[in-house]
């Protein structure tokens, strides 16, 4: 009988409320944290939802800031911090995707404010203590316990309007967190269980969402999977896939979720050669070897499949590889610069991965 490999499990520290209509409990959740003046955050596109949420909060709302934007630029954080201070707010409620939740984290880490995150995409930021910020066009990432939202409300009804294309790419962005948790250098049996369940849930939920975007059952499966994926991201070290996506997003401004969608089959197809036994949950859920299965899933969801279609120029591939080699993350399969170039070439052309 083989022994359980040694591991460290840090626990899951957020309160998670997962229920249809759960957004109605926002007042209770603010009070539960002992807070009484929430600043509601959103992007401009979700401003009317944020205002409706502030109305629901009534006296417990200090105000609304609707200027959240991609990559958490410092200028936006500074403006939001001024609003937070002027209104005498004592917590933030982040309503939206990773961009809005990033702004809430940026405020919390500077002020000690509690956060309630209400995610409306599948990106998973709400479950992590990771904050990526940009200053002068340069993106830096840090981890801090103060960055993790105290409370997360998953209300499936808030995802019904997420367009099909964004649902597909956001769901594959989530899937990448679970997949890399399966072979993470610091994996542990609990997170492995969650990752396997995440893959299973997304594998049924995402095709259902694309077939019928208003199907609350499919949406619920996708959102449940996304929660688990976020927890995987928050508890595990990510590997080559996330490294390449960070370079493509950070240095070449490629769109976040789409980049994950395009890259995932290729990075996983590369890594699966080294750890086929760890990829079993993907193969069980999707019915083929990991890279090929994810390639088929992405195609079936109508997600973009080529880097050329999302803004990379072929002549940039060499630079991406150079940057990725500078400070590589841990990875289950050793790789050379030539390997990176080959992965990027395949992702550029959208060919089926070898494994
Ligand atoms: P996003 O938050 O940028 O949202 C994209 C657009 O979709 C926005 O205009 C938003 O208002 C809109 N939107 C969101 N939900 C909607 C809905 N239900 N219906 C209609 N429109 C909706 O996109 P994202 O992919 O969720 O987040 C990407 C950002 O999050 C990136 O900056 C990424 O780096 C960050 N991120 C961080 C972490 C972390 O752990 N720190 C994890 C994942 C992503």
Write out pLDDT tens, residues 214-260: 999 999 999 999 999 999 999 999 999 999 999 999 889 999 999 99
Of 301, 305, 275, the closest CA to residue 290 belongs to 275
Encoding tokens for residue 55?
A: 């109305």
* Structural domain for 215, as ranges: 164-349
9-48 burial, b at 16+ Cβ within 10 Å, e below that, comes to eeeeebebbeeeebbebbeebbeebebebbbbbbbeebbe
Query: Closest residue (by CA) to atom 22 of ligand 1?
Result: 162
Percent of the chain with pLDDT over 70: 100
Rg (Cα) of the chain, in Å, rounded?
A: 20
In a domain, 295, yes or no: yes
Residue 354 scores a pLDDT above 90 = no
- Count of structural domains within the chain: 2
What distance in Å separates the CA atoms of residue 68 and residue 104, rounded to the nearest whole number? 9
How far, CA to CA in Å, does 342 sit from each of 201, 318, 335, 338?
31, 10, 11, 6
Give domain status of residue 284, yes or no.
yes
CA distance 214 to 332: 39
Kindly state whether residues 68 and 214 are assigned to the same domain: no
Ligand 1 site-directed mutation target among 121, 127, 132, most atoms within 8 Å of CB: 121
- What does DSSP assign to residue 95? E
Tell me the two tokens of residue 327. Answer: 């400070």
Q: Is 3 domain-assigned?
A: no
Cα 288 to averaged position of ligand 1 atoms, centre (Å): 30
The CATH number assigned to the domain holding 170 equals 1.20.1090.10
For the whole model, what pTM was predicted?
Answer: 0.97
Nearest residue by C-alpha to atom 15 in ligand 1: 120
Of 135, 159, 183, the position where a domain reaches its end is: 159
State if residue 102 touches ligand 1 by the CB under 6 angstroms criterion.
Answer: yes
Q: How far is CA 347 from the centre of its chain?
A: 20
- Find out whether the beta carbon of 190 lies less than 6 Å from any atom of ligand 1: no
Same domain, 151 and 181: no
- Asked whether residue 99 carries a pLDDT value surpassing 90, the answer given is yes
CA of 228 to the centre of ligand 1 (A): 17
CB-ligand 1 contact for 123 (6 Å cutoff): yes
pLDDT at position 327: 83
Clarify whether residues 273 and 145 are in a common domain: no
CA-nearest of 22, 11, 72, 82 to 223 is 22
d(CA 301, CA 213): 12
Q: Say yes or no: CB of residue 128 within 6 Å of ligand 1.
A: yes
Choose the final residue of a domain: 159, 186, 205.
Answer: 159
**In the prediction, which pLDDT does 329 show?**
85
Domain boundary among 159, 187, 213: 159
pLDDT at residue 138, rounded to an integer: 77
Q: How far, in Å, from the CA of 86 to the mean position of ligand 1?
A: 27
Q: Are residues 98 and 244 in the same domain?
A: no
């Amino acid at each position: 009988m083989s022994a359980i490999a040694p591991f460290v499990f840090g626990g899951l520290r957020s309160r998670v409320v997962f229920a249809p209509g759960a957004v109605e409990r926002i007042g209770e959740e603010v009070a539960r944290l002992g807070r009484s003046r929430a600043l509601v955050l959103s992007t401009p596109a979700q401003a009317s939802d944020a205002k409706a949420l502030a109305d629901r909060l009534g006296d417990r709302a200090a105000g609304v800031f609707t200027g959240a934007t991609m990559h958490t630029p410092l200028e936006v954080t500074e403006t939001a911090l001024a609003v937070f201070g002027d209104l005498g707010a004592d917590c933030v409620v982040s309503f939206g995707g990773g961009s809005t939740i990033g702004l809430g984290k940026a405020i919390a880490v500077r002020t000690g404010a509690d956060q309630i995150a209400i995610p409306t995409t599948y990106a998973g930021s709400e479950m992590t203590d990771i904050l990526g910020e940009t200053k002068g066009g340069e993106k830096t990432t840090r981890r801090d316990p103060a960055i993790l939202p105290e409370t997360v409300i998953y209300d499936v009804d808030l995802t019904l309007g997420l367009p099909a294309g964004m649902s597909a790419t956001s769901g594959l962005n989530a899937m990448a967190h679970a997949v890399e948790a399966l072979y993470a250098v610091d994996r542990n049996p609990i997170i492995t269980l969650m990752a396997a369940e995440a893959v299973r849930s997304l594998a049924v939920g995402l095709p259902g969402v694309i077939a019928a975007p208003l199907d609350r059952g499919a949406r619920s499966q996708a959102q449940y999977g996304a929660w688990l994926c976020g927890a995987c991201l928050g508890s595990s070290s990510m590997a080559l896939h996330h490294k390449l996506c960070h370079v493509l997003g950070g240095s070449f401004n490629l769109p976040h979720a789409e980049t994950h969608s395009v890259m995932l089959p290729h990075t996983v197809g590369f890594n699966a050669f080294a750890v086929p036994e760890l990829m079993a949950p993907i193969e069980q859920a999707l019915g083929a070897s990991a890279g090929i299965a994810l390639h088929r899933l992405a195609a079936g969801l109508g997600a973009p499949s080529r880097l050329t279609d999302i803004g990379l120029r072929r002549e940039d591939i060499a630079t991406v590889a150079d940057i990725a080699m500078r400070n590589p993350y841990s990875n289950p399969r050793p790789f050379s610069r030539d390997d990176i170039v080959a992965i990027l070439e395949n992702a550029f052309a959208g060919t089926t991965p070898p494994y």
